[in-house]
Chain A
Amino acid sequence: MSERITTADVVKVAKLARLDLDPAAIERTTAQLAGMLEHFADIDALDLGDVQPMNQPYPLVNVFRDDVIVAGLNRDEVLAAAPDAEDGRFRVPPILGLDS
């Protein structure tokens, strides 16, 4: 948490999160995140060397289901709720920027 978050960081993060932030929103968000990250300085000083991270509160292992088919969802019901559908499938605009 050493260096301060920059607008360049925020631009990169917004892109990762697929949020379109205009320049004003980038400025505002940078200031807000910087302010919050400053509050987080309290855990910076802690000696956490030997502490194991805690990902889940209740320690369970080996939770399984059996390999048995259960009837799923009705396609028509699902596609009726979709923003756009065609021919039994979900329709999306052209997929760009990933193939050149």
Chain B
Amino acid sequence: MPVHDVFEEANRQLIICNACRYCEGYCPVFRAIETRRDFQRGDVFYLSNLCHDCRACYYACMYTPPHEFAINIPKILAEARIETYERLSWPGFLGRAFKHRGVTVFLAVAAIALVAILSFALIPSSSLFAAHVGPGAFYEVVPYFAMVAGGLILFFYGIAVWLRGGAQFWSETRTVLQQPGGFNAFLAAAGAALGLRYLKGGGPGCFYPDERPSSVRRVYHSLTFWGLVCDFISTTLAFIYQDFLHLLPPYALSSAPVIFGAVGGVALILGTGGLLYFKMRSDPDPAGSGAPGMDYVFLVTLGLVALTGMFTLVYRETSAMGSLLVLHLGFIAALFLTAPYGKFVHAVYRTLAVMRYEMERGQPGSGAGH
């Protein structure tokens, strides 16, 4: 569907929802709809990112196709989300990645290939394929400077693009209702976002992968998110160990960085695996056309980061460590490089949309306070 038509179509459907309101109890999207009378592009940006794709409304709706009103809110909002992602990406031409999974795959593969080629070209094979033990073992394969510099550049690049997109999203979704939100709105938003409050279908759970509500998807998503957090903590701890305590990795299995890393790794593998499995089984009708490709690339990349990390841990004292480490770093590079051009961006926009909702419902007379 052309961009213009996505917004026209979203507006058409949302006007019908606003005349119905049966789904009000499911999530904030419908309560936010009720404070508006028509739906400009900024409203659609906002609502589409506020939607957590729990699909409760789709199965509850008496106007889904073949009804002539042809309401399918999860689908049209998923398509509008892709438009948000594309429009707010930088540089603009990489925004194509959101609609053509080939671009994301290309970026991911290019990152992995680059790391691999550089490694094989620059690291002597006597070192790459040898077993290393003792402090600094990893750096005997990939030099410390290369690892940190490469990682940080990609990490901060991704963060910078996210911040830029987030700032633009915030300004484009601004409405007359908005005033600066207090700290309470911030806390409420953080709680809702971290606890995935709006993935509960208003109580019974998420209607995913099919029309039987359950909490399993929330569990998978939580495993993925908190797994990622654990691995971030692990990396930060390792940085402290190394640069402040002057302890070089690898660390003992009982050390904090390894424990956080391993717990996070297992959680990520379970979480991404579960989400992938659900996605493959999910009802295609309420899904946005085009979106699944992007989701798969993200989940697979993230899962493989964890998997190669775990393998590196398990085989770190063998001659396979060098190859595994290179592969692991390759996937991390792919994750960072595709972070602004794939499903990962939902973390930014959805959190901001939840934040905006919490601010909006704090407004006197907004009518959204439930």
A and B are interacting partners = no
